[in-house]
Structure 1
Amino acid sequence: MAQRGGTSIDSDTERYDFVVVSNRLPVDRVVRRDGTPDWQPSPGGLVTALEPVMRANDGGWVGWTGTADDDQGPFEADGLHLHPVPLSAGEVERYYEGFSNDTIWPLYHDVIAQPTYNRETWETYVEVNRRFAEASADVAAEGAMVWVQDYQLQLVPRMLRERRPDLVIGFFNHIPFPAYGLFSQLPWRRQIVEGLLGADLIGFQRRADAGNFLRAVRRLFHVPTPHGRVELPAAGEGKWPNSMSDEPRTVVAKHFPISIDAAAYVQLVETESVRARAAEIRRDLGDPTTIMLGVDRLDYTKGIRHRFAAYAELLDEGKLDVDDTVLVQIASPSRERVETYKALRDEIELTVGRVNGEFGTIKHSAISYLHHGYPREEMVALMLAADIMLVTALRDGMNLVAKEYVATRADDDGVLVLSEFAGAADELKQALLVNPHDIEGLKRAILAAVHMPRQERRTRMHALRRRVLTHDVEHWSRDFLSALAEVRPTASAQAAAETD
């Protein structure tokens, strides 16, 4: 098979002691100026979080290339060993756009949008998860550690254990896990929980999410879960849960709040070109007294509508002046083939037009709205230019943007307005915490941020930065992988222990 970009890998011989499995590979296909294909790192938060871990362990990464009907073989790009799982256009529509993002995503985000429950999309979800499990089993060495990522692959842990009981399997859920009253709506709730319990360690963003999962285990299967531990019997002992192993085993569910590569953001802030770009952004916006910034995927869970409503009311009441204040909203494209997201984009852009039409002037727009993504250097410059970061998610597993903003504030200045429904609120308690559904409360928080004395800004931000810089992505991955090794040591670790 011809290799299109990257360096080919012999999939018949390559095996890894550490394997990451995620819906997407950490690269996107691009075309060079000379017309040849190549790969570049993806900008997503999951890639940002896992890439340093993968490099440190020299492991393999299993995932989809992001292009339907792609026959790309295993390859190496930017030093990463990548093993694609091909998906047809129909599978993308049913597994990814359908069950993953039109059923699981809204259900796990507190039914902010109504989930659809479709048997055909579920069947494709099962089949695609099986293919991911088979691909992972093929590249994992004996006794390897396999780390499965996120809601698109919740069945993989059990399927993988059935094929390879020698493996040490971890799973991390990057989005919330819903309360049982919501989760129970899912017709395939038992299969999802059984799939997750194929792992040795299941990680969640928040303590409450781990609690919700354990409550689902108790309600569905009537088994105790003391101290976050599920004791599974040996295969054939009892009706359920079935450990898929000849020996009893323990599954641990625990929270591990994810973070960012904070040092990389600090380094970018110190770059002269980034600082110059931040100053240029302020000039381009008319040198306002206050720049407020929102950076989100265009998603109904992010609370963009609530943010705009609060801001428009403050302008209408004369508590903010468009000549002194601007809201910059970066809304990167997201799932644009899904009808719910198409409708959201139309609504957001109509709102931007209305607010600018009503409150803008010849010199100043009330909202500077940009519907596309940016490279990391530009995002850091935007954050450096902003006086206030608005994170108003209605439900969010973590929200790494909040931590990115904090990491960029090298002068300990700036204010973070943070939704209490984002996982980051559990850690970043010195932010101004808000309930985005409470528009009056959100307005008060925005005004408090605008008028906050410099010393209070510095005190709050200093504490926030200390947390983010010490609890970075390396801290997150180290904690998770150490806990996974404790639950079920790898074959190499067991051999070392026996030698000692």
Structure 2
Amino acid sequence: MQSTNVPMSIGESNNTNHCTRQQLQELLQNSFGDLPMLLVSNREPWIHSHCDNGWIEANRPASGLVTALEPFAEATGGTWIAHGSGNADRCTVDEKDAVNVPPDMPQYRLRRVWLSKAEVEDYYSNLSNRGLWPLCHVAFVAPLFEHHHWQVYREVNQRFAEVILEEAAGKPALVFIQDYHLSLVSRILREANPNLITVQFWHVPWPNREVLRTFPYADELIHGLLGNDLLGFQSKSHAHNFLDAADRLVEARVDLEQEQVSQNGHRTLVGSYPISIDFDYWNEVGASDEVDLSMKQWISELNLETDQLLIVGMERLDYTKGLMQRLHAIDRLLQLDPSLKGRLQVVQLLVSSRGTISEYRILRQEIEALTRQINRRWADGGWRPIQLKIEDRSLIDRVALLRLGRCCVVSSLHDGMNLVAKEFVASRSDGDGTLVLSRFTGSAQELTGALLVNPYSVEALAQSMQRALLMPERERRMRMTQMRKQVADQNIYQWGSSIVSDIQRVRQRKALKSDVSTLTV
């Protein structure tokens, strides 16, 4: 990599070139070839499951996190530490609970952490997803904070830390931790092995100080994260929220200009790194023959007519995605423009998730009921405005649906980034289509060619969808060209390169500090 690829400040790069997977991996090898890399996340990159025929199948989950981190693991031949959740995971590991992956061409090692059903329930479902998730998304769903859940969360974080320390064996290593499930790990590592370089990326929003104070263990959460040498967020506003919290809620010295926090002689650099996708991959898939075939199959399945205007929604079933507001906006859209009756087709594809959590079960029932209500109100012969599909579909089918849409709607009430918006843009190899995008997503700060909207305003959302459907082709293509360039330039490998460059700075600083300490002694 050229020297111009080194960011000028924490989390910001002056490089606008199209970084590739190979370039990122070369940078990783050159920077950390002498340092073992340990990647840590709750979700594992490969899951082993028993099949009906008696065989064991290995699957790579559809996950932006996996896509983002695998180049790190492959380039360094490192170890990925994660919760072993597959029903055949125990059958495939060695005596150290590890397996080499990918199965066909192993390039790194996966070390699994075993958790009981009760631990998964309290640490993952309750504290992480019923507590921290709504807290961080400032969702109008009351977070659940129970002391027992926090105790189990601590215990699981301790378990992960012990596995990391075992893998590092008291030697220097680079530890890259992911997200809100493991916020206490770095502090434990710092106290046990100061030779480690610890980095953590917080994928979801970080709330403002007043919201954070409602969490009874906010100070312990912040103390845990300050064990990191580098702490990354999706946006500057989230990073500044954390700096403000560290300044006011714990004993620490915060330097806003240098974006760092000092506590007990240890410095944590805080940066913003907007995560992205592999533009070339999504663009290639969007232009493939398989997608062309799937588009024809969708047209048949949906009974689409050539003059119909298709709106597409595609996300995980979650109360942060603004799904109820979106449905009300579709109802309002038909009131605003009666000419759309019979011409408008909305396909909402949802992946069911967290079905054991009551809030998600209730949300599904509400979405299904409201969809039926709107369809009954506007039905005309065999036409219904909304087709709700709560099911898993292949990547090819999802891209084909994105390709068919005149408009894609992403109306999240709050999102750290939202990669569906970027996937829509990258998959539109035809250069057409419009994006209606919530202002409260990280993607809105980059995709300025989208029609930005307040998702809480049903009226504004309906008007934006109407404008998107009726927008002249020339304007659609101009906006799409602008957005595609943005996603291509700031792709997932540029995200990785920016983080790696700042880790280099941390390593150099720590080495200098060590040299000074040696001279002083």
TM-score between the two structures when normalised by the length of structure 1: 0.89
Alpha-carbon distance, 1:398 to partner:
0.3
Tell me the equivalent position of 1:48: 67
Q: Is the contact between residue 69 and residue 88 of structure 1 (CA under 8 Å) also seen in structure 2?
A: no
1:438 to 457, 462, 478: 457
Q: Deviations over 1:442-500 (max 9, x none)?
A: 111001101101111111100000000111111101111211221234999999xxxxx
Residue 165 in structure 1 maps to residue 194 in structure 2: yes
> How far apart in 1 are the matches of 2:369 and 2:380?
18
Higher relative contact order (CA 8 A, sep 6+): 2
Alpha-carbon distance, 1:174 to partner:
0.4
Q: Is the contact between residue 49 and residue 88 of structure 2 (CA under 8 Å) also seen in structure 1?
A: no
1:180 to 191, 209, 213: 209
Tell me the equivalent position of 1:76: 100
SS in 2 for 1:429: coil
Distance 1:371 1:490, change over 3 A: farther
Residue 224 in structure 1 maps to residue 248 in structure 2: no
Residue 260 in structure 1 maps to residue 290 in structure 2: no
> How far apart in 2 are the matches of 1:16 and 1:222?
30
% same residue? 35
Distance 1:320 1:99, change over 3 A: farther
Name structure 1 gaps, 5 residues minimum: 1-14, 233-240, 243-247, 496-500
Q: Is the contact between residue 161 and residue 185 of structure 2 (CA under 8 Å) also seen in structure 1?
A: yes
> How far apart in 2 are the matches of 1:326 and 1:468?
28
Alpha-carbon distance, 1:231 to partner:
4.7
Tell me the equivalent position of 1:36: 55
In the TM superposition, 1:247-326 aligns within 5 A as 248-285=265-302, 286-287=304-305, 288-319=307-338, 321-326=340-345
Tell me the equivalent position of 2:241: 212
Tell me the equivalent position of 2:140: 112
> How far apart in 1 are the matches of 2:71 and 2:511?
22
> How far apart in 2 are the matches of 1:197 and 1:356?
51
Q: Is the contact between residue 312 and residue 402 of structure 2 (CA under 8 Å) also seen in structure 1?
A: yes
Give the letter aligned to residue 328 of structure 2. Answer: A
Give the letter aligned to residue 83 of structure 2. Answer: W
> How far apart in 1 are the matches of 2:57 and 2:35?
24
Q: Deviations over 1:416-466 (max 9, x none)?
A: 100000110111111000000111111110011011011111111000000
Distance 1:230 1:318, change over 3 A: closer
Q: Is the contact between residue 47 and residue 86 of structure 2 (CA under 8 Å) also seen in structure 1?
A: no
Tell me the equivalent position of 2:387: 368
Tell me the equivalent position of 1:136: 164
Tell me the equivalent position of 2:153: 125
Q: Deviations over 1:79-102 (max 9, x none)?
A: 341111111010011000110011
1:87 to 97, 102, 115: 115
Q: Is the contact between residue 69 and residue 89 of structure 1 (CA under 8 Å) also seen in structure 2?
A: no
Give the letter aligned to residue 291 of structure 1. Answer: L
Q: Deviations over 1:325-377 (max 9, x none)?
A: 11111110111101111110110111111122222344332111111222212
Residue 201 in structure 1 maps to residue 230 in structure 2: yes
Give the letter aligned to residue 257 of structure 2. Answer: H
Give the letter aligned to residue 227 of structure 1. Answer: E
Alpha-carbon distance, 1:317 to partner:
4.2
Alpha-carbon distance, 1:205 to partner:
0.5
- What RMSD in Å do the two structures reach over aligned CA positions? 2.2
> How far apart in 2 are the matches of 1:306 and 1:159?
42
Give the letter aligned to residue 441 of structure 2. Answer: A
> How far apart in 2 are the matches of 1:228 and 1:364?
59
Give the letter aligned to residue 47 of structure 1. Answer: V
Tell me the equivalent position of 1:420: 439
| Between 483-492 and 311-320, the greater mean CA deviation after superposition | 483-492
Distance 1:231 1:309, change over 3 A: closer
| Between 115-124 and 51-60, the greater mean CA deviation after superposition | 51-60
In the TM superposition, 1:350-429 aligns within 5 A as 350-429=369-448
Tell me the equivalent position of 1:455: 474
Alpha-carbon distance, 1:261 to partner:
1.3
Q: Is the contact between residue 275 and residue 384 of structure 1 (CA under 8 Å) also seen in structure 2?
A: no
> How far apart in 2 are the matches of 1:320 and 1:109?
37
TM-score between the two structures when normalised by the length of structure 2: 0.86
Tell me the equivalent position of 1:7: none
Distance 1:231 1:317, change over 3 A: closer
Matched residue count: 468
Residue 155 in structure 1 maps to residue 172 in structure 2: no
Q: Is the contact between residue 218 and residue 225 of structure 1 (CA under 8 Å) also seen in structure 2?
A: no
> How far apart in 1 are the matches of 2:52 and 2:146?
43
> How far apart in 2 are the matches of 1:31 and 1:178?
41
> How far apart in 2 are the matches of 1:471 and 1:32?
39
Distance 1:179 1:316, change over 3 A: same
Q: Is the contact between residue 427 and residue 467 of structure 1 (CA under 8 Å) also seen in structure 2?
A: yes
Q: Deviations over 1:290-312 (max 9, x none)?
A: 11111111000000111110001
Q: Deviations over 1:379-410 (max 9, x none)?
A: 11111111111000000000000000000111
Name structure 2 gaps, 5 residues minimum: 1-33, 515-521
> How far apart in 1 are the matches of 2:243 and 2:444?
22
Alpha-carbon distance, 1:74 to partner:
0.9
| Between 139-148 and 63-72, the greater mean CA deviation after superposition | 63-72
Tell me the equivalent position of 1:10: none
> How far apart in 2 are the matches of 1:229 and 1:437?
32
> How far apart in 2 are the matches of 1:255 and 1:229?
10
Q: Is the contact between residue 145 and residue 490 of structure 1 (CA under 8 Å) also seen in structure 2?
A: no
> How far apart in 2 are the matches of 1:491 and 1:76?
32
Alpha-carbon distance, 1:125 to partner:
0.3
Tell me the equivalent position of 2:130: 102
Q: Is the contact between residue 20 and residue 147 of structure 1 (CA under 8 Å) also seen in structure 2?
A: yes
Q: Is the contact between residue 95 and residue 128 of structure 1 (CA under 8 Å) also seen in structure 2?
A: yes
In the TM superposition, 1:319-358 aligns within 5 A as 319=338, 321-358=340-377
> How far apart in 1 are the matches of 2:398 and 2:178?
25
Tell me the equivalent position of 2:486: 467
Alpha-carbon distance, 1:314 to partner:
1.6
